[in-house]
Amino acid sequence: MGGAACRYNAAVDSEGGNLAPGMVLVGEDIRRAIDHGCAAFDLLKGDYQYKYRFGATARAVKRLIVTRPG
């Protein structure tokens, strides 16, 4: 309970209107995450307009590179 679900690299047809298949699938993924007790649903990287239709908010994405000495 209280975990997070994530969705990455979804293809959404922006010309399909409010009931485009991609939008329906994202909505279904969110519904299933709620049913499984997830406290958050992360649409991950990318500033795509469709994400804001689901209530997403912008946040910074950071990159961390770890290397071995030598």
> What span, in angstroms and rounded, lies between the C-alpha atoms of 18 and 1?
31
Cβ–Cβ < 8 Å for 10, 51: no
Query: What pLDDT, in 10s, does the model give residues 14-70?
Result: 665 555 777 788 888 889 989 989 888 888 777 878 788 888 888 887 889 999 998
* CB neighbourhood size of 53 (10 A): 13
Assign residue 33 a region (left: φ > 0; alpha: ψ between -120 and 50; beta: otherwise).
alpha
The pLDDT assigned to 12 comes to: 56
Pairing of strands 40-42, 4-6: parallel
